[in-house]
Amino acid sequence: MRNILILAIILLCSVTTFSQEYVDPEYNKVLDTSRYVITYEAIMTQDSLNPDEKEYDRIILEIGNNLSRSYSYRLFQYDSLCKTYFDKGRNEYPSPRLLILPVDVYKYFFENKMVVLHRTPLIGPIIQYSEEKNLFKWEMTDEKKDIIGFVCTKATCEFRGRNWTVWFTTELPVSDGPWKFNGLPGLILKAEDDKGHYSFVCIGINNTKSPIVIMDKYTYEKESRKTVMEFEQLYYEAQYDYFRKINPGYPLMRKNPKTKSFEEVVDSEKGPSSPYNPIELE
Amino acid sequence: MKRQFFLILTLFLASNCFSQTRVSGIVKNEKGDPVFNASVILMRSTDSLTVAFAFTDDEGFYEIFTKSEAEKMLLSVYGFNVKKQTKLIDNVSQTVDFVVKEEAILLQEVSIKSEKIWENNDTISYLVSAFRDTTDVVIADVLKKMPGIEVDDDGKIEYKGKPISKFYIENMDMLQGRYNLATKNISAEDVATVQVLENHQPVKALSNIDIADDAAINIKLKPGSKGTFALTADVGVGYDENLLWDGKLAGMYFGKRQQYLSTLNANNSGYRLTDNRNITVRPFASIIKPSMPTINERSRTFNNSYGFTFNTLQKMKNDAELSVNALYGGDEIKKSSFSQTTYFIPQSDSINLSEDMNSMEMTHNFEAGINYVLNKEKDYLGINFLAAGSNVNDSSNIMRDYLVRQNQSYQAVSTKLDLRWVRRNRNDSGKGIEIESKNSYGTLPYSSGARPGSFPDILNDSVKYALTNQDINLTSLKSYNVLRFLSLFVWKRFTLFPTATFSLERQTLGSTLDLTDNDGNTFTLEEPQYGNDILWLKLQPAIGLTFDYRSLRIKSQLYIPVQLRYIDFIDDRNDNSYNNIKVLSQPSFSFKYKMNHRFDISVNSFIYNSTPSLQTLYSGYILRDYRTLARYDSRLADTWGNSSSLKLTYDNIFKYLVCDASVNYNRYKNEVMYAQNFEGDMLIINAVDKESTGDYLSFSLYAGKGFEWHNLNINAKCSYGYGRTPQLVEDKVATYFNRGWNANVTASLRITERIIFSNKGSWSRMISTLEGQTSNQKPIISFIDYANIDFILPFGISVGSSLEYYHTSGMGRRQDFGLLDCNISYTYKRVRFILDCQNILNTKNFVYSYYSDIYGYYSEYSIRPRSVMLTAKFKVL
């Protein structure tokens, strides 16, 4: 009898949770059709004390008639991989890799607005927030440079704790760029901060028509940019605290090698930490 | 004069104004509609350098200011729907309107190959030198500092809060899970890098098919440390009321194609060095001895232990790995306790039993395993063979109104053979099959003795006698086999998983009872009911189908197995043979619905069936312990039951708030009842063909809230459970009602970054009543509080302290006691010193009590008195 009850308890605990496993592309909504697709290589330094250790990603900028979307290619690959696993009937998914820029930025051309969908680390919540588009106070310079065959002009700006240098070209008449960057009279082909922690370089321009999509409204929640930063900071500073925060009500368990049973990690353990070096420092 | 000054001022202001040029205008398309968001830029005519820019507003208006001194400027208008138009203008403030042609513009396509390699690489490498400082002695000390890695006191590793799946040294898995031998003994200065392999699938043929969410760790040694011999040591000494000591020596050698690691341990300070986890047969009888409470191992174990391990791995010509692991150890453990058991008898007084016990347990274990792994891209073959032996000699003396002396001894031998074979299709379709087979065979010759002789009324015609001797011979053969396909059937959001399993269980049981009378004559009880000679065979082929449906807001699963169960029971001695064949199904169902961002609701239900095992089916009497005699002379019976639950969850992780409420209900029906009859305070168990049903209902509420203030976290849970269990006691069916309340509150607080405090309090109230019985039992109330505080100090010093407080009342007793522990660790020149003080309040006994259906239990267990121990850890070679 006692065994049966224990079995029941185990089964109850193993009910699948709704934590954010991946964003299922099947539920995406189409917002627009792209006219141009720009690809940037993104190089990021996660640990500011170890600047030689770089993380690589690609940022895809899809430009439509009414809006543009900038997103991480790695994250897109992750969702696609999970979807493939789902379609094969698998019940588990690979853990998401820690990404430096897990954000989708939607810039609306006819409004002073952009919408950001930010995925918090691992399987944390996806947070949506809106901002004004004209956040950047660009300073023009008279420096010019050729980037992938286009004559580019240098412009600089201080943005949320980093000093950015960007190169844009008037030969590509699109006032847009990777991530949140916009507001110059031409496409930004290169952007980097003065510490060399973040850089984006254009490696592809295509006139591709493809749907510009947004994830289903049940997958994200509206919160502020400050909340995003709090979540990320907690993840980097205290991983156990972060797990407890994103899985409320589920005790953080770990296997006790002596008793071979899972036991709860005590609340006072804050867990390992790792360096945090976000693109927006403030 | 005044006028002149005014003129100069005006001229000055005017010239200042003139140096800034303002160009504005309106951009319209050919239809005369304003063009929104077009770029307008002003460039120097000489080198087309952008001087200023603007965008048109929704009325097509733009405005540009410049301080450029160029004479001529270029003014361009463009946009991604606007054909570029450029005008040469003078550098003076003016209005310039544009009429532009709107057209879709194609960009000049470019594609450049990325220079950097950035494919998804799941290996993270850490350079040991970057993390190591002067205080680190062994590799576990360095691992602790790496991001995401946690190492516990036993040397076991977790990565991101999950235990690692494999531990490799130079890509070879020598230690087969006992890798803490390596982490606690390999010197930190011999290691070059630590690699974390994320999402590590150890079976290559399953890569991209089975997603492994586990991480593995690979240790890469420095070139100079490969192919050389290393030795590390731990030495500890302490005092409780006797001298305590602890010693350990570990030697190791890691070569290119072969590895060795060997350890030698001995202590009397509370760490057992044997375990019987690989012994597959458990005895059907035991002796009554003190049972260990769940407090830390050192406080409850009075031991004398030694252990030896030897591990090696050889890489073979076909790159298969062959490893051999052997261990030998012995534990001698002394325990003592006082306990009181109260049986609640329907329509009668309860029976009280007080036992003051001392036991001496001696265990010697031997284990040897051979593991062969061939791990290729399309094929995997793993063979694991293990032999384990355990020699146990226990004795226990019980002081009650008379002295009871018991002993037991057995030499258990078990062998295990596990096979795993994976074959993947040669074309990379992800198809293939996997077969897994787990087999074990064990024998257990057991003998026990109880003095004075037990159950004289039944066993010796009511004549008191000196000694009951019992011999039990058990053999057990078990096999469990699974076949599965590597690819599954999927239709839309439904997935179908088929599985096929086959299990076999063959057990034999032989038992005899010998009595020695008061004159010292020994005779065997020859009547059939005093012994067993049974063969039990159970075959269970089964196929199962799981239907899984998952969408954004619904997750649901239905599992339908069909099982054929064949049981053959041959009991020649008691002439009770039968066989039975049955088709069974035990479906289960789960459903979860996400109502909105905050609320989830879930339902779970399953049906279960169980049959007794040989342990509750034998027909001849077995003396389970000196005061319990059992036989189950009945047909094969089934238990059917259903368990269901409903849960509502609210969570708002942005507010650090979570709550849930749940209801659980379980109901079962048994075809037999186990009659429990007392002869004095001796218990006789028989099985009787009589149907009974019981049920259990519980409610629980949970709430958790976190605060920013010093990371304060508070969790509270309360629950209420109600159970109804019919029991056959003294030939009467009596229903026992159990009710229990439980409340738990935990809180943690980070006072500063270096001072961490946590507290856990739990309160419970338990009551057991008998139907129709007016005299209610007293409830057992217990309260436990556990407080812990850690200080992390500079210079490699850390101090930890914990206090536990226990209160128990009920069953006519009331007890309050506390346990206080403290430890300090410090590292000096690569030698780690740990000073551990336990039970500072010098508490003598650990007290606990609880109710089970027909009885209540109270125990006082003697724990280690105040003790202090100093340990040093260092590298010898």
pLDDT bin (cut points 50, 70, 90) of residue B772 is confident
Rounded to two decimals, the pTM is 0.71
More confident residue, B314 or B346: B314
Cis omega (within 30 of 0) on the bond before B452?
A: yes
The 8-class DSSP code of residue B188 comes to G
pLDDT tens per residue across span B494-519? 888 788 999 999 999 999 999 999 99
In the predicted structure, residue B587 carries a pLDDT above the cut 90:
yes
Q: Tell me the residue range of the domain where A227 lies.
A: 17-131+195-264
Which DSSP letter does residue B720 get? E
* pLDDT band, very low/low/confident/very high, at B225 (cuts 50, 70, 90): confident
Buried b (16+ CB within 10 A) or exposed e, A19-51: ebbbbbeeebeebbebbbbbbbbbbbbbbeeee
- Report the domain count for chain A: 1
Name every chain A residue with its beta carbon within 8 A of the beta carbon of B788: 266, 268
Q: Phi, psi at residue B836, to the nearest 5°? A: -120, 120
- Contacts B662 to A, Cβ<8 Å: 12
In a domain, A269, yes or no: no
Tens-place pLDDT, residues B550-576: 887 888 889 999 999 999 999 988 888
Contact: B49, A142; criterion CB under 8 Å = yes
Whether residue B807 has pLDDT greater than 80: yes
Q: A130 CA to chain B: closest CA distance, Å?
A: 17
pLDDT digits (tens, 9 = 90+) for B433-450: 899 999 999 999 999 999
pLDDT at B840: 93
Task: Identify the weakest region by mean pLDDT among B108-117, B266-275, B451-460.
Answer: B108-117
> What was the pLDDT predicted at B514?
94
Residue B51 in domain? yes
B185: pLDDT confidence band, cut at 50, 70 and 90?
A: confident
From chain B, pick out residues whose CB is under 8 angstroms from the CB of A221.
597, 654
Distances from the Cα of A155 to the Cα of A281, B39, B874, angstroms:
20, 16, 59
List Cα–Cα distances, A67 to A31, A76, B12, in angstroms: 8, 19, 48
Of A95, A173, A227, which has the smallest distance from its Cβ to B80's Cβ? A173
A204 has a chain B CB within 8 A of its CB: yes
Choose, out of B80, B296, B300, B801, the residue to mutate when testing the contact with A (most A CBs < 10 Å). Answer: B80
Minimal CA separation from A103 to chain B, in Å: 18
| H/E run at residue A74 | helix A73-87
The answer to whether residue B560 sits within a structural domain is no
Comparison of pLDDT for B117 and B170, the residue scoring more:
B170
Quick one: B161 and B50 in the same domain? Answer: no
**Residue-level pLDDT at A182:** 93
Separation of alpha carbons B303 and B329, rounded Å: 13
Q: Is residue A101 part of a domain?
A: yes
Q: Is B449 within 8 Å of B472 (Cβ atoms)?
A: no
Residue B686 has pLDDT above 60, yes or no: yes
B693-724 per-position pLDDT tens digit: 999 999 999 888 878 788 787 888 899 999 99
Domain boundary at B267, B283, B303, which? B267
- Which candidate from B58, B490, B668 shows the least CB-CB separation from A87? B490
User: Residue range B138-147: average pLDDT?
Assistant: 79
pLDDT band at B811 (very low <50, low <70, confident <90, very high): confident
How far apart are the C-alpha atoms of B363 and B844, rounded to whole Å? 26
pLDDT attached to residue B187: 84
Asked whether the beta carbons of residue B198 and residue A97 sit closer than 8 angstroms, the reply is yes
Please name the residues between 84 and 113 in chain A that touch chain B, using a CB distance below 8 Å: 85-95, 97, 109-110
Kindly state whether residues B54 and B130 are assigned to the same domain. no
Distance from CA of A213 to the nearest CA of B (A): 17
* Domain-located, residue A41: yes
pLDDT for B383 equals: 96
Please list every residue in chain B whose beta carbon sits closer than 8 Å to the beta carbon of residue A156. Answer: none
**Has residue B834 got a pLDDT over 50?**
yes
| Tens digits of residue pLDDT in B356-415 | 999 999 999 999 999 999 988 889 999 999 999 999 999 999 999 899 999 999 999 999
**What does the mean pLDDT of chain A come to?**
81
Residue-wise pLDDT for B454-498, tens only, equals: 999 889 988 999 999 999 999 999 999 999 887 777 787 888 878
Tell whether B755 is covered by a domain. Answer: yes
Closest by CA to A101, choosing from A74, A65, A141, A82, is A74
Query: Is A172 part of any domain?
Result: no
Residues B148 and B214 grouped into a single domain: yes
Q: Would you say residue B54 lies in a domain?
A: yes
Per-residue confidence band for B768, with pLDDT thresholds at 50, 70 and 90: confident
Strand B61-66 versus strand B489-491 pairing type: unpaired
Segments of chain A with pLDDT less than 70: 1-21, 89-100, 248-269
Question: Can you give the pLDDT at residue B684?
Answer: 84
Pairs across A and B, CB distance < 8 A: 244
Contacts of A265 in chain B (CB under 8 A): 161
CA B271 from centre of chain: 22
Q: In 3-state terms, what secondary structure has residue B127?
A: strand
Give the tens place of pLDDT for each residue, B590-627.
998 988 888 889 999 999 998 888 888 898 999 999 99
CA-CA distance, B853 to A2, in Å (whole number)?
11
Cα→Cα distances A131→A117, A162, A229, Å: 11, 18, 15
> How far apart are alpha carbons B186 and B136 in whole angstroms?
11
**Chain B contact for A261 (CB, 8 A cutoff):** no
Question: Tell me: the pLDDT tens digits for B337-360?
Answer: 999 998 888 878 888 899 999 999
Q: Tell me what the mean pLDDT of segment B803-820 comes to.
A: 87
Instruction: Give me the number of domains chain B comprises.
Output: 3
Mean pLDDT of chain B: 86
Which residues of A, range 170-199, sit inside 8 Å of B by Cβ? 170-175, 184-186
Same domain as B135, residue B91? no
A123, part of any domain: yes
Residue A5 in domain: no
**Would B194 be classed as within a structural domain?**
yes
Residues B771 and B872 in one domain: yes
In a domain, B299, yes or no: no
- Residue A139 belongs to a domain: no
Is A185 within a domain? Answer: no
Domain span at B59: 2-100
- Does residue B768 lie in a domain region? yes
Residue B63 lies in a domain: yes
Higher pLDDT among residues A8 and B280, named by residue: B280
Give residue B627's identity as a one-letter amino acid code. R
pLDDT per residue as tens digits for the range B636-680: 888 999 999 999 988 787 777 878 899 999 999 999 888 888 887
Same domain, B84 and B176: no
pLDDT of B135 reads 63
| B870 pLDDT tier (thresholds 50, 70, 90) | very high
* Residue carrying structure tokens 């109502």: B595
Question: Nearest-CA neighbor of A195 among A278, A138, A121?
Answer: A278
pLDDT for B208 beyond 70: no
Helices A239-246 and A225-237: crossing angle, nearest 10°? 130
